[in-house]
Structure 1
Amino acid sequence: MKKLKYIIAVSIVFIATSCDDYLDQDNLGEKDVNSYYKSPTDIEEAMSGVYNALYTVGVHSEEQIAANLMDNMMLGGGGPDDKTAKWVDNFEDPVEDTYHDMWKQSYNGISRANAIIEAVPKTDFSSYFKTAIEAENFKKQALGEALFMRAFYYFRLAKFFGGVPLIMTYDADRYVARSTYSETFAVIASDLKAAIETMPATPFTSLPTSRYGHANKWVAEAYLARVFLLYTGYMTNIEKQATADLPLVGGGSITATQVSAYLDDCINNSGYKLVSDFRNLWPYSYVNKSAGSNVLPWAAAEGLAWVGQDGMTPTFGTGNLETMFVQRFSFGDWNWSDNTGYIYTNRLVLYSSLRGNSLVPFGEGWGWCTVNPKLYAGWSDLDPRKKGSILEVGKAEQGTATYARDKGDHETGYFNKKYTSLQHNDGTGTNKGMFVQMYAWNNAEIQLMHAQDFIYMRFADVLLMHSEITKTAVGLNLVRARAKLDPVGYSLEAIKEERLHELAFEGLHWFDLIRWGDVDTAFDDVIQVRNSGVEANYKVKYRPETKGLVPIPETEMRILNGVYTQNPGW
């Protein structure tokens, strides 16, 4: 059995990558582009360092948590002491450095990617491979993957902060002013275009399982579409500067026609496809196969089976052909230094699970990001994704009949089911976490046991983006058909509804609200909630002057005194 090999390698990361900590520190690394990056092993270790920058100590700096808290379909939640979640949900800055780890880690990833981008073209790897073609493909994949990851981190920064400092070489001056929104997106687009043109066009089904979740040519094509939609929508609907193309560095642009061609390539040649049932993407459908009280009747009756999260040959499941790009998680231990025992477990699962309730198969968490009842009420019961996405408490068929109310704030009776703590009996009468049992981990501490991948990109989104960009209904209706829903004609409203239902709680809807220009009116509802047992009305106070951006960390503002300007509204 594979034992979390994808995360145990982090011990290598801290040795193999330089200490290139963001903009407010000097580069203290012992290894540089001249003394390292000489062998495939060097490159693989360095690439692990690039991916390692996905992990943040500050929970509000996790992209998926930040985006879900700001989304109008999820509330702050938590308990009386979870004030930061409530403040973020209300577009207030809890502390001066709420998102500092996102800023720091993104620039760590960029710096590490820069080193690979500079070193790989100058390095001859031919002596490590049997054929010149193998050596060349390795080189192309390494370069393209580093370009993609640099674009990924700049895109993360741009989504949250807007225009940011552009650090494009490993030893570049790090004390530079912020670039504009358009200049930042030009770098993102140029890197993604180069990554697409560089990485081998190997179908996903032909890649080794060790590449599962990594970036490849098809992931870059999908991300270019996501970048295109956010940029053109933001410029048109937020900045009120009607924009139809995505700029490139040095002039030129990428058009909707070009993006749709990239998506056509991804759809037709990548090997990715929709799994047979939407609900099989989520680990609860594996728990449902357990015996006795662990079985959810509705799921067992419909024969659900989790497809796993290990590519073509999963240890559990039938193969996952839909998931394209993920953040992999593992377990931890409080004895690890620098809080690393905490950051490598999936905290979206921990923080958004049932507060104060340890049930079977749904375990306990902190109760953040409670679900807006408006989403549940407006979602047809004929759509299996409703029950497959939202966990309703107090329901025997959901495994929540014994749920004890009044354990948290902003309690609505609905929780995120895609990313939720899962547990079942270990055969001795003790309930243990699902992943703890699967991977034979010896620490069952509820804060350290959530090894579920977070999915950044899956094939369903590719189909929906293709429909939106081409203004055709083909991809839209393929996604609907998977949910056994009748076809519809293309309209932007149909796209909006489908994206809301297909991609709920996946950290995307907040950015959809922004790019469509719907964010200013998305928070008009008064929501009935219970705050530690007390009935209350809740209304989010979105501030349009922020333009959907979060504040630049105050630490960075002070260090570069006068170089940065703070985002509007903060």
Structure 2
Amino acid sequence: MKKITIYISIAALVLLTGCDKGYLDTKNLYEKDLDNFYSRPQDIDEALAGVYNAIITPSNNPFSNEHIVANLLSDMMLGGGGPDDTGAKNTDEFKDPNEDTYRGMWIATYNGVARANAIIEKAADADFSLYFNSDQEATDYKNQALGEAYFMRAFFYFRAVKFFGGMPLILSVTDPKDLPRSTISETYAQIASDLKTAIDMMPAVDQRSIPTERYGHANKWIAEAYLAKAYLYYTGYMTNIEGQATSTLPLADGGSLSSGDVTTYLNDCIARSGYSLTPDFRNLWAYSYVNQAAGEDVLPWAADNNLAWVGQDGPSSTYGTGNNETMFAVRYALGDWANNTQQYSNMVCLYFAIRDNSMTPFGQGWGWGPVNPKLWNQWDDADPRKEGSILPMGDANQGTDSYDVSKAGDEHTGFVNKKYISIQHDGPDGVKGMFYYLYNMQNGDPMQLWNANDFMLMRFADVLLMHSEITETADGLNAVRARAGYTTPIPYSLDAIKEERLHEFAFEGLRWFDLVRWGDVDTAFTGSIPVNNSGIDGTYQTTYRPETKGLLPIPETEIRLLNGVYSQNPGW
């Protein structure tokens, strides 16, 4: 597995002081700065590593993690946790009694944007010809690097606008940091323009031929997929939440992209990218590795299906059979207590794992995000994604028969997500996390640090379903359904797309944003759910406040720092 590592080595320019004016004019020949750092491919590679690293928020605060927050906001997960886990319940109930709950995401946005801006400005004029065998190789390298920087700037703004609405558009290293917030439309126009630039710049290389050391980097096809996602979210949000019906995505220069334009990009991605669906949906998830490699019959329900984890990298994977479906992912590694880098492990797995119960192959965690039982109840038993996505407690066939409900915590429903959960098996050192054994982990308490699962941001199934939704045709829809065993084609309908996305992407952080853009967020949160609260039976009432328009509050610290340049989002 190729993990993204921080190599940033830009040092601050040291200004020598003294009585002699000559000291003030002395040039520092040894330190890196914005003028000389971006002159070599090695510099660009290190700077890009810093851009990608900014995806992981600079905080162990779980509310800085977009996937924890998006899942808690959705109708498919409750708050859960223990009696003291009020933050999870507040997010789930659309409350925020604190000032800066989500500030980590805001900070991460501008960390990433600033690093991308530096590459865009400084690499554009760099001459890399001395480092390659031909001018064409040097040009291809520069275009790929610049394309990645434009893509990542769009990525950070896209992630932010979905949570916070219109964002201050800082597009240069010299732009003032006290710019007012742009409108939602202006923000999306910049996102679309950056994605279009990235698509135009990055070479068309079949992902199956990308070398191992480039796994994890953005490419032309990922940018095309994200442009479709931005199109669907913007047109849906403006039409169904803002009441300003539109079928085009604006560009920063005043132009726009139509559904036909976006379809052309998706067709290109489908035809030339080399991405494809993994034959068995369950092989995408880490639990299938344990069934394959641990030498134990730990998943009886899957024993006859020859599950084999495809791993976290492309066609050839050190750990797995090769993954052609995952297009873009948060590349987690192993956290470390000594360096306060817990966030480099996958906190989603820790926080959403089973509370205070350790069972092979499922490890324990904090019990956030109990699964809404209505999802289990309405899901066809014949669909392998049902048991491939949801883990019922107290089920011997699932390996959870030893579950102790008295330790369940609050809002316990009897169901836990299975995609992002702590996975463990019995090995030479006893029952440890699967990544403890895969990576010979020796850096601290494994329960909290052993989850190195990548979190998938874009996979090829999403491309197929977006294509069907935009074109109102059924080919992509039926391809995804066929992978789940539904071989009889169905006609296109938006209702069919909604059901398929619910079942295909459960707990992947997409459901909340689908509800918002479809305008279904007003009706999804209805009815009460029977739960167990730390041993006491009770009920849970789903909650949404439409006055917020599906947005989170702007961190109050940011508002104060700019003396009112920002206004707070409605409803907060």
TM-score, L = length of structure 2: 0.94
Cα distance in 1 for residues equivalent to 2:371 and 2:299: 21
1:311 positional shift = 1.5
User: Where do 1:336-415 residues align within 5 Å?
Assistant: 336=339, 339-340=340-341, 342-407=342-407, 408-415=409-416
Secondary structure of the 1:510 match is helix
Structure 1: distance between partners of 2:85 and 2:221: 40
Change (3 A) 1:291 1:190: closer
**Alignment of structure 1 residues 234-383 onto 2, 5 Å:** 234-290=237-293, 293-336=296-339, 339-340=340-341, 342-383=342-383
Contact 2:294 2:425 (8 Å CA) reproduced: no
Supply the distance in 1 between the matched residues of 2:12 and 2:504 (Cα, whole angstroms): 40
Task: Determine the structure 1 residue equivalent to 2:180.
Answer: 177
Aligned with 2:167: secondary structure? coil
Q: Distance in 2 between matches of 1:18 and 1:452?
A: 35
Give, in angstroms, the shift of residue 16 of structure 1: 3.8
- Checking the alignment, whether the CA contact within 8 Å between 1:294 and 1:424 is kept in structure 2 is no
Between the aligned partners of 1:82 and 1:514, the Cα distance in structure 2 is 26
Are 1:109 and 1:153, in contact at CA under 8 Å, matched by a contact in 2? yes
Query: Highest Rg: 1 or 2?
Result: 2
Match of 2:528 in 1: 526
Counterpart residue number, 2:494:
492
Does the aligned pair in 1 maintain the 2:294–2:426 contact within 8 Å? no
1:405 deviation in Å? Answer: 0.6
What residue identity is the alignment partner of 2:3? Y
User: C-alpha displacement at 1:316, in angstroms?
Assistant: 2.0
Root-mean-square deviation (Å):
1.4
Q: 1:17 touches 1:49 (CA, 8 Å); kept in 2?
A: no
Cα offsets for 1:213-236 (capped at 9, x unmatched)? 221000000000000000000000
Secondary structure at the counterpart of residue 447 of structure 2: coil
- How far apart are residue 33 of structure 1 and its match? 3.1
Distance 2:53 2:226 in 1: 20
Deviation of 1:18 after TM superposition, in Å, equals 7.6
Q: Which residue of 1 aligns with 2:18?
A: none
Bigger mean CA offset, 52-61 vs 38-47: 52-61
Distance 2:467 2:106 in 1: 31
Aligned-pair distance for 1:562?
1.8
| Other-structure match for 1:77 | 80
Residue of structure 2 in register with 1:501 after alignment: 503
1:189–1:246 Cα contact (<8 Å) kept: yes
SS of residue paired to 1:6:
coil
Deviation at 1:31, TM superposition (A): 4.8
Is residue 308–residue 316 contact of structure 1 (8 Å, CA) maintained in 2? yes
What is aligned with 2:211? 208
Judged with a 3 Å threshold, the aligned counterparts in structure 2 of structure 1 residues 442 and 313 are, in CA distance, closer, same or farther, namely same
Which residue pairs with 2:147 in the alignment? 144
Residues 287 and 294 in structure 1, CA contact (< 8 A), matched pair in contact too = no
* Distance in 2 separating the partners of 1:413 and 1:210: 42
1:220-239 aligned at under 5 Å gives the runs 220-239=223-242
1:110 aligns with 2:107: no
Shift of 1:427: 3.2
Give the equivalent residue in structure 1 for 2:26: none
Q: Which of residues 3, 8, 17 in structure 2 aligns to 1:6?
A: 3
SS at 1:171's partner residue?
A: coil
- 1:552 equivalent to 2:549? Answer no
Match of 1:22 in 2: none
Instruction: Quote the offset at 1:375 in angstroms.
Output: 0.3
CA–CA distance in structure 1, aligned partners of residues 294 and 318 of structure 2: 19
Q: Does structure 1 residue 101 correspond to structure 2 residue 104?
A: yes
Following the alignment from structure 2 to structure 1, what is the Cα–Cα distance between the partners of residues 12 and 239?
A: 40
Q: How many residues align?
A: 550
Residues 158 and 291 (structure 1), Cα distance of their counterparts in 2 relative to 1, 3 Å cut:
closer
Structure 1: give runs of 5+ residues left out of the alignment: 20-29
The residue number in structure 1 matching 2:49 is 48
Specify the SS of the correspondent of 1:451: coil
1:168 deviates by: 0.6
What percent of counterpart residues are identical? Answer: 61
Give yes or no for contact 1:289–1:300 (8 Å, CA) kept in 2: no
Q: Deviations over 1:313-341 (max 9, x none)?
A: 211221100000011111122111xx32x
Q: Contact 1:358 / 1:364 at 8 angstroms: preserved in 2?
A: yes
Query: In structure 2, how many angstroms separate the alpha carbons of the residues matched to 1:466 and 1:286?
Result: 31
Q: 1:211 to 1:525 in 2, by over 3 A?
A: farther
- Is 1:420 paired with 2:417? no
SS at structure 1 position matched to 2:422: coil
Alignment-derived partner of residue 86 in structure 1: 89
Secondary structure of 2:448's partner?
Answer: coil
Q: Is the 8 A contact 1:281 1:308 kept in 2?
A: yes
TM-score (norm 1): 0.95
Q: Secondary structure at the match of 1:362?
A: coil
Q: Distance in 2 between matches of 1:97 and 1:406?
A: 34
Aligned letter for 1:282? W
